[in-house]
Structure 1
Amino acid sequence: MDKLQALEERIAHLQRTVEDLSDVVSRQATEIRALSRRVGLLMEREAEREAAEGTIPLADQRPPHW
């Protein structure tokens, strides 16, 4: 009977760990979506600024060593 109880305890701990990890992944996914949206907005803003200045966009410039 002790062996069965030990296994049940381990399963309970593993289930709790899986639930905790699921919560972490969910929070991280939400944060990644928000950060991706912010990066996209910053890229758009920078592209508009570069277009207004009439400069070559940084992404299209050759590196200085070329």
Structure 2
Amino acid sequence: MTDRITELEIKLSLTEDLIEELNRTVFRQQEQLDLLQAQLRHLYRQMQSQNETADPTAVTTPRDEIPPHY
């Protein structure tokens, strides 16, 4: 009986360690997501400000742009 209790305590301890490690992993991933979302918002604002400062009468089409290999 004592061996079973000891085995259960060991399993419980390992499970708690695993849960704590998973919590840290989820926390780090959430930090990365938050950073990526902030960067995306920043890039979006940059694009919006560039569009606002661009000449509104200029019409750009893909034909007007030079392909990157030229």
TM-score, structure 1 as length reference: 0.75
Partner of 1:6: 7
Higher RCO, 1 vs 2 (CA within 8 Å, ≥6 residues apart): 1
Q: For residue 7 of structure 2, what is the amino acid of its counterpart? A: A
Q: Which has the higher helix share?
A: 1
| Structure 2: segments with no counterpart, 5+ residues | 59-70
Larger Rg: 2
Q: How many pairs are equivalent?
A: 55
Q: For residue 27 of structure 1, what is the amino acid of its counterpart? A: R
TM-score, structure 2 as length reference: 0.72
> C-alpha separation between the residues in 2 aligned to 1:6 and 1:45?
59
Aligned sequence identity (%): 18
| Structure 1: segments with no counterpart, 5+ residues | 56-66
Moved over 3 A (4+): none
